[in-house]
Structure 1
Amino acid sequence: MLLRAVRGGLAALLMLAGAAGVAAGEPAPSGPVPAAAPEGAERQQTLQALGAALFDDVNLSQDRTQACSTCHMPDAGFVDARTLPATGGAVSLGDDGRSIGTRNAPPAAYARFSPRFHRRADGRYAGGQFLDGRADDLAAQALGPPLNPVEMALPDKAAAVARLRENPEYERSFRTLFADDIFDDEERAFAAMGAAIAAFEQTDEFAPFDSRYDRYLRGEETLTDQEELGRVLFFSNQFTNCSQCHRLNRQAADPRETFTDYSFHNIGVPANPALDAALGRPVADRGLADNPAVSDKAAAAGQFRVPGLRNVAVTGPYMHNGVFRDLRTVIAFYNKYNSRLAKRQINPETGAPWGPPEVADNLSLTELESGPALDDRRIDALVAFLRTLTDRRYEPLLPAAGSAAP
Structure 2
Amino acid sequence: MLTKQHVKSVILASMTTMPLTLWTAGAGALEPIEALGKNIFFDEKLSIPANKQACASCHDPARGWILPDSRINATTVVAPGAKPHALGNIKPPANAYASFSPPFRRGNFGPFVVGWEGGNFWDGRAEGCGAKSGAKCPTTTGGAASETIRLSDLPSGLQAAYRKYLGPIADQALNPFPNDVEQNIREKNVCQRVKTAKYKNLYRQAFGGNIDCSPNPKNNPAYRGSFKLLAVALAAWQSSSDVNSFSSKRDKALAADPDHKFPLVGFTDQENQGHDLFYGITSALNPSGKRANCNVCHNGVPQGQPPDRTGEAPHQLYADNRFHNIGVPFNREIPEVGKGTKVGLKAHVSSVPAGNFRTPTVRNVAKGLHGGFVKAFAHNGWFKSLESLVHFYNTRDVLQRCESLGIVHATEKEALKNNCWPASEFANPAAFVIGNLRLTAAEEAALVAYLKTLTDTHTPTRP
Shift of 1:255: 1.0
Equivalent residue, structure 1, for 2:359: 306
Distance verdict in 2 for CA 1:95–1:84, change over 3 Å: farther
TM-score (ref. length: structure 2): 0.68
| CA distance in structure 2 between the aligned counterparts of 1:327 and 1:128, rounded to whole angstroms | 26
Matched, 1:174 2:203: yes
Matched, 1:131 2:122: yes
Higher helix share: 1
CA contact (8 A) 2:317 2:361 kept: yes
| CA distance in structure 2 between the aligned counterparts of 1:280 and 1:182, rounded to whole angstroms | 40
Residue pairs, 1:114-263, within 5 angstroms: 114-122=101-109, 124-135=115-126, 136=128, 137-154=168-185, 156-167=186-197, 169-170=199-200, 172-178=201-207, 180=209, 183=212, 184=214, 185-219=222-256, 222-236=266-280, 238-248=290-300, 249-252=307-310, 253-263=312-322
Distance verdict in 2 for CA 1:181–1:392, change over 3 Å: closer
| CA distance in structure 1 between the aligned counterparts of 2:198 and 2:446, rounded to whole angstroms | 53
Q: Select the residue among 379, 383, 388 that pairs with 1:320.
A: 379
Percent identical pairs in the alignment equals 32
Shift of 1:342: 8.8
Shift of 1:145: 0.7
Equivalent residue, structure 2, for 1:375: 440
**304-313 or 73-82: which moved more?**
73-82
Distance verdict in 2 for CA 1:242–1:128, change over 3 Å: same
After superposition, the C-alpha distances for 1:278-297 in whole angstroms (9 at most, x for unaligned) are 33755631111112xx241x
Q: Which amino acid aligns with 2:291?
A: F
CA contact (8 A) 2:383 2:412 kept: no
| CA distance in structure 2 between the aligned counterparts of 1:326 and 1:105, rounded to whole angstroms | 16
Q: Which amino acid aligns with 2:294?
A: C
CA contact (8 A) 1:339 1:374 kept: no
CA contact (8 A) 2:273 2:446 kept: yes
CA contact (8 A) 1:284 1:358 kept: no
For these two proteins, the number of residue pairs brought into alignment is 343
CA contact (8 A) 1:161 1:186 kept: yes
CA contact (8 A) 1:83 1:89 kept: no
CA contact (8 A) 1:246 1:309 kept: yes
Equivalent residue, structure 2, for 1:392: 457
Shift of 1:333: 1.2
CA contact (8 A) 2:122 2:379 kept: yes
| CA distance in structure 2 between the aligned counterparts of 1:86 and 1:331, rounded to whole angstroms | 18
Q: Which amino acid aligns with 1:205?
A: D
Shift of 1:212: 1.3
> Gapped runs of 5+ residues in structure 1?
2-40, 395-406
Matched, 1:267 2:326: yes
Distance verdict in 2 for CA 1:279–1:84, change over 3 Å: farther
**209-218 or 347-356: which moved more?**
347-356
CA contact (8 A) 2:195 2:211 kept: no
**142-151 or 108-117: which moved more?**
108-117
After superposition, the C-alpha distances for 1:146-203 in whole angstroms (9 at most, x for unaligned) are 111111012x322322332333742x54355335486251221110010011111111
CA contact (8 A) 2:396 2:421 kept: no
Shift of 1:121: 3.1
CA contact (8 A) 1:182 1:188 kept: no
Q: Select the residue among 340, 344, 364 that pairs with 2:430.
A: 364
After superposition, the C-alpha distances for 1:181-239 in whole angstroms (9 at most, x for unaligned) are 86251221110010011111111121211211112212355211111111111011752
Equivalent residue, structure 1, for 2:341: 284
Q: Which amino acid aligns with 2:448?
A: V
Distance verdict in 2 for CA 1:347–1:105, change over 3 Å: closer
Q: Which amino acid aligns with 1:186?
A: Y
CA contact (8 A) 2:393 2:437 kept: no
Q: Which amino acid aligns with 1:319?
A: A
**120-129 or 260-269: which moved more?**
120-129
> Gapped runs of 5+ residues in structure 2?
1-19, 21-27, 129-167, 215-221, 258-264, 282-289, 301-306, 369-374, 405-409
